[in-house]
Structures are given as C-alpha cells and as structure tokens.
Amino acid sequence: MARAPRLGAHFVLKGLLTLIILALGTSTFALATPVVDLYGLYQNTKSGKYLLLFLNNSEIRPGGGFIGSFARVQFEDGAIKDLAVETNIYKRDNAFITENIVEPPEPLRRVNHEGRWALHDANWYPDFADSAQHVQWFYEHGAPKSESIDGVIGITLTAAEALVKLTGPIYIPEQNLTVTHENFFAQIQYEVEKGYYAQEENININEPKTIIANLIPPFLEKIKKTNAVTLARYVARLAREKQIVFWFGNAQNQQRVEKWNWAGRVPTDPEPIFAVVNANLDQAKSSRSIRQHTDIDEQTVGAARFTNVRITRTHVGSYSWPDGDDANYLEIIVPSDAQLNAILVNGADIGKNPFLLETNPQGFPIMQKVSSTLRYGQKIIGFWADTAVGQSTVVELSYASSISIRSKTRVLKQVGATEETLRLIRDDRVLFDGALEADFTR
C-alpha cells in the first residue's frame, strides 16, 4: 500500500503561520486528523486565491460578524505570492451598487437604507458555506470582475483577541500603539472610527482600517516566535468554537473541514435540530454586552416531541461609545415539520399582532412580525428581539415535531457567538446545563 508523504513537524507547524492568519489553518489538522487528510488539504490549497474576512462579532451577524474589512491572499507552491488588505470595504461596495441592484433580505433594510445589497452585508446566512458563497459572488462581481477566489475563511474579533493573548503585546509603529488582548477591541475600534480621522490628510484618503494592515506584519513576527504546538491547539479550539470558520470551493477540502465541524454548517438531514441566530442591525457594537440564556424543555409522547423554549437576552452594557441599545433580528432554527404555537416577545404575541416597529430613513417600514422559511431542509423562524441598555428581552415559543425512537437533538452554536448559556431538559432529565461553546448533540 502506498503511503501518503510524511510532513516534517517543522514544515507542518510553521506552515500554520501563513495559513491561519491569512486564510488557511491547514497545519492545525495535524493534531486531529490523519496525515493523509492534512497532506491532501495542503496539496489542494498551496496555490490559489483566498479571502480572509475580519468578522466583527461585537456587531454579530448570522455568518459570524460584520465584515468591516478583509484580506486577499494568493499562494503559489505554498508561499505567499501576494497579500492585500482592503481597509475600506465601502469603496468597493459603493462602486458595485452604482452599477448593480441586488435586493437585500428584508431585515437588512434596517441598516441598508438604499435597499441595495453588497459585500459588507453578504454574510447574512447562519450556514457559513452559504454566507461564504454569497461573499464570493459579491467579490467576484465587483471590481476587478476578472478575479476569482478559491475559498473564504472567517476570523472573528474573539479569535483575534485570543491569538494576541497567546503572542503577547504587539507594537504597531505606524500608529505608535501597543495592543494587547485586553485593549484590542477598544484600541482598534477607536483608531478605525475616531483616531484615523483626527489627522486631516486622512479624511480624503479615507482608509480607516489601515491599522489592520499595519497590524499584520508585527503580528506575524510574534507568531513566528510562538510555540508551534500551542499555536496549533489555539487554532483548533477556536475552530471548534466557531471563531474561525472555513469554506473551500474545492469539494475535497470542503469535505475535510466539514468532517471536523470547522465549516460552520447547518445540517440538512432530518434529525432534530435547534439553534438561535442573532443579527445586530443598528451599528452599535452591543453584541459583546448581551448575555443570552436559553431554556429548552422537551417532552416525548409517542412519535412526537413537544418543545418549549424560553430565550432571555440581557444587556449588561452602557450608552458609552461604541456600545448602545441592541437592535437585533433573531432567528430560531427548528425541524422542518415543526408546528409552532404562539411566539411571545416580552409577553406580546407577535404572530397574531404584527405592528410597525419603526421606519428607516428612507421611509421603509420595519415591521415586528414573524417570518417562516425553509432553508437547509430546516425551518427558520425570524422576528425582532431588541434589547435596551440595562434591560432584558424574553422570547417564548413552543412547537411539536415528529421523532424516531432514538432521536437526539443537535444544538448548534452560531458562528462568532459569545456569552451564551443553555439548559436542555428532556422528559424531566437535565441533559445539558452550561456555556454554549460549541455544537453538541444530546
């Protein structure tokens, strides 16, 4: 039997430096997969163009977080041939929407005042492969139109903070600034939205996320000095927790990351499923201030399962910039045959009594109503669940669905989600009670 070539430890682990921060966490597979998987993934990704999305999960979106900026990296024979960081995604998007009219999903009208969809809002879907393919479409139909990509990788703010905690403080000479895992969010956010524009010449240049491009070189130097095994374990944990997610156009590579649940997929088979997916849609960076707890109580009666759900979202933040009230569109993923009863938000039955929540600046009505769609072979229920600073929002619903004798429930964690707890009870037995850090099945 022919054996897959053996990759030296130095090659595998040092190769991680390139592949994680710039797009592909290939080397981390060495800790969890057969060598043949690792080698196959490496062979299929050592050449090509990939997008690395910087997902700001303090402004959570279904695909992990708001896409404030991204990098395009081109590999040739395993080496970086070209790296470019786009530090103002709106320049690309403004050019796109002048020539194209793409209607956004209705909830995005709350922040998308012109009613046109573009790259920065493309990760609207809870299945990362779905979001990534929308990102790919918008990117490839933008300028330059001739450029195609081979994969999309998302890295959240939470993942970036964790990696900076591992490397230690990073000095950015262009800004004369040192970032740590403790001040990373505050310093980057301030520089992007305020500090950059304090210099008059930058107003016309208008590349506010230049700090991200300036951060990468010293960060990579720090990574080079980090213990490779420790680094690989960090990335493996962040991938398991959906703070780093992968999508590849190559079917074999996609199968590999799905095999290890690093692809942020929503399963399409008929087994029972449950997930809560949030979208922060008013530009406040309030998602970090939300504490979400979900109680699920399931009762089995013959071939049916009756499920009661209570979701409590508590805002522990403030009105200090960049925090604020949380304008949140909430979706719940349940089995496709689920028959829903009333949906209550703070005691109000929004299914029976839809009402005007507000209008956007263009006069588009933002309605508080329940939507129900089928996607991924599952039912997705959506509505608004806003939470003011210092307040709690309580969502209650119940539904019935069919099951087989041995049916378990798969609970999915949203890509980029943090600060969530969950309690699952079935037939008066507690099956899970704790922090929701990753997908699980009970």
The per-residue pLDDT of the chain, averaged, comes to 87
Question: Mean of the pLDDT values across residues 158-166?
Answer: 95
Determine the average pLDDT of the residues in 255-284.
92
Q: What is the DSSP letter of 184?
A: H
The pLDDT of residue 221: 85
- DSSP lists the bridge partners of residue 428 as none
List residues bridging with 55 in a β-sheet. 67, 156
**Top mean-pLDDT range of 179-193, 241-255, 311-325:** 311-325
Q: Name the band, by pLDDT with cuts 50, 70 and 90, for residue 21.
A: very low
> For a pLDDT cut of 90, what percent of the chain falls above it?
65
Rounded Cα gap, residues 113 and 179, in angstroms: 34
Amino acid 19: pLDDT = 47
Stated as kind and residue range, the H or E segment containing 91 is helix 89-99
Query: Quick one: which of 42, 413, 123, 32 has its CA closest to 243?
Result: 413
pLDDT tops 80 at residue 416: yes
* 390 contacts: CB under 8 Å, gap ≥ 6: 315, 316
Helix 251-259 with 35-45: angle, nearest 10 deg: 140
pLDDT of residue 38: 52
Instruction: Tell me the angle at which helices 157-167 and 228-240 cross, rounded to the nearest 10 degrees.
Output: 160
| Residues whose CB falls within 8 Å of the CB of residue 34, separated by 6 or more in sequence, listed in order | none
Highest mean pLDDT among 8-22, 258-272, 347-361, 381-395: 381-395
Residue type for position 372 = S
How many CB atoms are closer than 10 A to CB 254?
Answer: 18
270 vs 171, more confident: 171
Share of the chain above pLDDT 70, in %: 88
pLDDT at 79: 67
Using pLDDT thresholds of 50, 70 and 90, give the confidence band for residue 78. Answer: low
- pTM to 2 decimals? 0.90
Looking at residue 235, what is its pLDDT? 83
pLDDT confidence band for 391 (50 / 70 / 90): very high
Instruction: pLDDT band for 43, please (50, 70, 90 cuts).
Output: low
Instruction: State the Cα–Cα distance between residues 349 and 363, nearest whole angstrom.
Output: 26
Q: Look at residue 26 and tell me whether its pLDDT is greater than 70.
A: no
pLDDT value at residue 331:
98
* Residue 183 pLDDT class (50, 70, 90 cuts): very high
Q: Is the dihedral of CA 319, 322, 325, 326 positive or negative?
A: negative
Q: What is the pLDDT of residues 81-125, one digit of tens each?
A: 788 888 889 989 999 999 999 999 999 999 887 789 999 999 999
Q: What is the pLDDT of residue 40?
A: 58
Calpha distance 413→132 (Å, rounded): 18
Rounded to an integer, the average pLDDT of 207-228 is: 87
pLDDT at 203: 78
Confidence of residue 24 (pLDDT cuts 50, 70, 90): very low
